[in-house]
């Protein structure tokens, strides 16, 4: 899958992604993931959110987001 494959996003999923923070991830996943892996998760979160914002800017909210 490439970023071009992602054309629509769930509003709820984006909200929940936006709420993820280091403290939450460390509390829930710290036993299994080290700091570098959590950094990777947060970086991917940021890229997904940025892509969703670009899609909204390009196509409009109704075309890029769904309930």
Which residue, among 7, 6, 1, has the nearest Cα to 62 in the 3D structure? 7
What's the pLDDT tens digit per position in 8-17? 999 999 999 9
Please tell me the distance from the alpha carbon of residue 65 to that of residue 30, in angstroms, as a whole number: 32
pLDDT, residue 3, reads: 87
Report the C-alpha gap between 16 and 25 in whole angstroms. Answer: 12
1 has pLDDT over 90: no
Q: What is the pLDDT of residues 44-67, one digit of tens each?
A: 999 999 999 999 999 999 999 999
Cα(57)–Cα(52) distance, rounded to whole angstroms?
9
Give Cα 57 distance to the centre of its chain.
Answer: 17
Average of per-residue pLDDT across 37-43: 98
Q: What's the pLDDT at 57?
A: 97
Q: pTM for the complete prediction?
A: 0.89
């Amino acid at each position: 899958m490439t970023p071009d494959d992602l054309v629509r996003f769930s509003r709820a999923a984006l909200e929940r992604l936006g709420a993820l923070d280091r403290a939450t991830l460390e509390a829930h996943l710290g036993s299994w993931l080290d700091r570098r892996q959590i950094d990777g998760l947060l970086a991917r979160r940021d890229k997904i959110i940025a892509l969703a914002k670009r899609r909204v800017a390009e196509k409009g909210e109704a075309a890029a987001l769904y309930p």
